[in-house]
Structure 1
Amino acid sequence: MARTTPHDRPLTEAQPLYWRIATELLGELRDGTIPPGERLPGERHLAEHFGVSRETVRQSLEVLRRSGLVATDRRGSHATLPGLPVETPASLTFPVGARTTGPGAVDHATVTWETPSPEHAEALGLAPHRETLVHRYESTGADGRGQRTAVTSFSAVALAEVAELARYRDRTEASGSAQLRLAYDWMRRAGLSLHHRDAITRLPGASTVRVTRCVHDQYARPLEITDLVVDAQQDALVYEFTLPAAG
């Protein structure tokens, strides 16, 4: 007997809910929301995304597994649709504006557990006066020019999903040195696709610009926000891009 799959049958109200969710998930796999070979979000996240129970998600994944469209191993479920493999993107350094320290240059970073600025708290969806992980970065060239300062606040989602960040909660000190240059790689390995929106604006009456980076995951949940001030001569610019989660 021929085996039917979600792409063989049109979506109808008479179909079981799990079949309808399998069809919707397949659509997201095909349109590149989850690229071939990438790890799928966990059952809890998929259940929240589609507004169904985790049991319904399990049944939907089983439909796709039987059809050979999803494979599951000890790392989780992965899309197996035909397509070009996802290349490892160029290293994305955290925080925005961080650079390799040259001879004689000063590069310093710290992490603290504190209440972020009201602007950061609002962007991250944090309740007023709620503490979170805050990262500060300073860099000055060997000639004393080209100063860069960045302040990053992480959301509750980032701390809950990314184990490497969560570990800092009990290790932060006011003067604690920390380099989180792999923060974006940690997020990707946790199964988060990163959507960045960077707004670059020249500060009035100054030779510096402010860069405000907001990072969300594939469910539009805020992960972090960074404010960078750097010496530069540049007009306002806004650009967006997405960095897929690691497979």
Structure 2
Amino acid sequence: MARTIPHDRSLTQVQPLYWRIAAELLGELRDGTVPPGERLPGERQLAEHFGVSRETVRQALEVLRRSGAVATDRRGSHATLPGLAVETATSPTFPVGARSAGPGAADRATVAWETPPPEHAEALGLAPHRRTLVHRYESTDADGAGRRTAVTSFSAVALAEVAELARYRDRTDATGSAQLRRAYDWMRKAGLTLHHRDAITRLPGASTVRVTRRVHDQHARPLEVTDLVVDAQQDALVYEFTLPAAG
């Protein structure tokens, strides 16, 4: 019988550090941060993410392997928990404008707990200089063209209602990788009906387009604001998404 991790028991100083890291990583696997079948970040990246040594990460992964939550082969470690795979996610990918990286393309996403841009703070109803969770995304093609940058700020409501987002508050340093592409699924799982409003404008004197997305819930409470800037080499930017009704 596969062993399970008693991650809900109180964590004490007697408990090994690697056991706590295993519990935290298991939580991320369960909430879909790393979807089933997808490779986990390398040991060095995980060590930076959790602020521990690579040896501690190695021990934590061994605990998860014994419990059946992680499998390792020649390609590395990957999640084996049942759940929705990336291709079957029911909501649009976060952030707006995010795309699958092609051969040679470069994508980077980070989070930080900081003061958001003033226009974001106003739209989210945040007091001046109040910090919140801020997500940054950057993508370029293999030849350096097609650059996309997005800055997202989350509201106090989103952090209070969505446990998967709140988890990042104490683990943000603006340097570690942070893929929140299932953020909209997490919001809907928390019982929030999402209303998206996207405004698309071409920036004067430049071949770039800005997309500003505002998302609020069924109670008209703001959840997030995203500003996406796209290096558009064409005359028109076509943006299409489908938001299914909450079942």
Report TM bin, short chain: 0.5 to 0.7
Shift of 1:163: 0.3
Contact 1:152–1:224 (8 Å) recurs in 2 = yes
CA pair 236-174 structure 1, distance change in 2 beyond 3 A: closer
Unpaired segments of 5 or more residues in structure 2? 1-87
Whole-angstrom CA distance in 2 between matches of 1:187 and 1:238: 22
> 1:192 and 2:180 equivalent?
no
Partner residue of 2:159? 159
Whole-angstrom CA distance in 2 between matches of 1:144 and 1:191: 40
Contact 2:91–2:244 (8 Å) recurs in 1 = no
Partner residue of 1:226? 226
Residue type matched to 2:209 in 1?
Answer: V
For normalisation by structure 1, the TM-score amounts to 0.60
Partner residue of 2:176? 176
Whole-angstrom CA distance in 2 between matches of 1:214 and 1:132: 16
Partner residue of 1:127? 127
SS in 2 for 1:111: strand
Shift of 1:174: 2.6
Residue type matched to 1:137 in 2?
Answer: Y
Whole-angstrom CA distance in 2 between matches of 1:241 and 1:222: 20
Shift of 1:231: 1.5
CA deviations 1:74-105 (Å, max 9, x no partner) are xxxxxxxxxxxxxx885410000000011100
Q: CA RMSD in A?
A: 2.3
Residue type matched to 1:230 in 2?
Answer: V
Whole-angstrom CA distance in 2 between matches of 1:231 and 1:108: 16
CA pair 127-223 structure 1, distance change in 2 beyond 3 A: same
Shift of 1:148: 0.1
Whole-angstrom CA distance in 2 between matches of 1:238 and 1:193: 21
Shifted more, 230-239 versus 134-143: the winner is 230-239
CA pair 235-155 structure 1, distance change in 2 beyond 3 A: same
Contact 2:106–2:140 (8 Å) recurs in 1 = yes
Shift of 1:162: 0.3
Identity %: 80
Whole-angstrom CA distance in 1 between matches of 2:161 and 2:137: 23
Whole-angstrom CA distance in 2 between matches of 1:153 and 1:216: 13
SS in 1 for 2:169: helix
CA deviations 1:165-224 (Å, max 9, x no partner) are 000001111312100000000001000010000000001011110000000001110000
Contact 1:201–1:210 (8 Å) recurs in 2 = yes
Contact 2:215–2:222 (8 Å) recurs in 1 = yes
Residue type matched to 2:94 in 1?
Answer: F
CA deviations 1:55-88 (Å, max 9, x no partner) are xxxxxxxxxxxxxxxxxxxxxxxxxxxxxxxxx8
Residue type matched to 2:211 in 1?
Answer: V
Contact 2:90–2:244 (8 Å) recurs in 1 = no
Partner residue of 2:211? 211
Any residues of structure 2 matched to 1:55-204 within 5 Å, and which? 91-204=91-204
SS in 1 for 2:187: helix
Shift of 1:244: 3.5
**CA radius of gyration, larger in:** 1
Contact 1:211–1:227 (8 Å) recurs in 2 = yes
Unpaired segments of 5 or more residues in structure 1? 1-87
Whole-angstrom CA distance in 2 between matches of 1:103 and 1:170: 34
Whole-angstrom CA distance in 2 between matches of 1:196 and 1:163: 21
Residue type matched to 1:108 in 2?
Answer: R
